């Protein structure tokens, strides 16, 4: 009987520490952001634009369709913070961001990348001097519970 318990215990330990233990599944895509203008003047703050590179790192094609409204790519979630760590999202309804155009259908083949841009000054306030950090994320599926992939973080400096 002791041998049976020992065998069961060893089997359970082996199952817990077997292949896949501690490994994370590779994300199906990556997002890299950049900007041609890391320094802008406060008067030109509304024209802040970032470049987005979406790369398919999976072993199958990915949907890359996008909704663009007034230059803002709505396929991504934006995290734009001022130097105090506070969101700079412009409050209120954004009637200028209603509607838009659908860029699709689009399929990104395994190993391919595509470039896009987004005018984030349409939704975030860059009119005050300071340093702002920008990071994007995109849901893995149609449900936020499935998780999201985050981009790198860039800094944009606004001067007088």
* pLDDT tens digit sequence for 76-107: 999 999 999 999 988 866 556 566 666 668 89
pLDDT for position 101: 62
Q: How confident is the model at residue 66 (pLDDT cuts 50, 70, 90)?
A: confident
Rounded mean pLDDT, 45-72: 89
pLDDT for position 103: 65
How far apart CA 28 and CA 57 sit, in angstroms, is 5
How much of the chain, in percent, has pLDDT values that exceed 70?
76
Domains of the chain: 22-159 (2.60.40.2970)
List, in order, residues 6 or more apart from 156 with CB less than 8 Å away: 35, 37, 38, 39, 40, 48, 126, 131, 132, 133, 134
How far apart CA 30 and CA 138 sit, in angstroms, is 9
What are the distances in angstroms from CA 69 to CA 90, 118, 134? 16, 9, 19
Q: Are 76 and 52 in contact (CB under 8 A)?
A: yes
């Amino acid at each position: 009987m002791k041998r049976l318990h020992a065998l069961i215990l060893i089997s359970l330990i082996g199952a817990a520490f077997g292949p896949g233990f501690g490994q994370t599944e590779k994300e199906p895509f990556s997002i890299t952001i950049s900007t041609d203008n890391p320094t802008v003047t406060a008067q030109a703050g509304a024209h802040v634009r970032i470049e987005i590179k979406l790369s398919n790192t999976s072993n199958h094609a990915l949907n890359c369709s996008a909704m663009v409204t007034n230059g803002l790519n709505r396929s991504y979630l934006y995290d734009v913070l001022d130097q105090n760590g506070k969101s700079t999202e412009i409050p209120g309804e954004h009637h200028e961001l209603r509607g838009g155009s659908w860029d699709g259908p689009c399929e990104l083949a395994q190993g391919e990348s595509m470039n896009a841009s987004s005018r984030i000054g349409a939704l975030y306030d860059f009119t005050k001097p300071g340093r702002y950090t920008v990071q994007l994320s995109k849901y893995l599926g149609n449900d936020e519970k499935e998780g999201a992939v985050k981009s790198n973080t860039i800094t944009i400096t606004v001067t007088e």
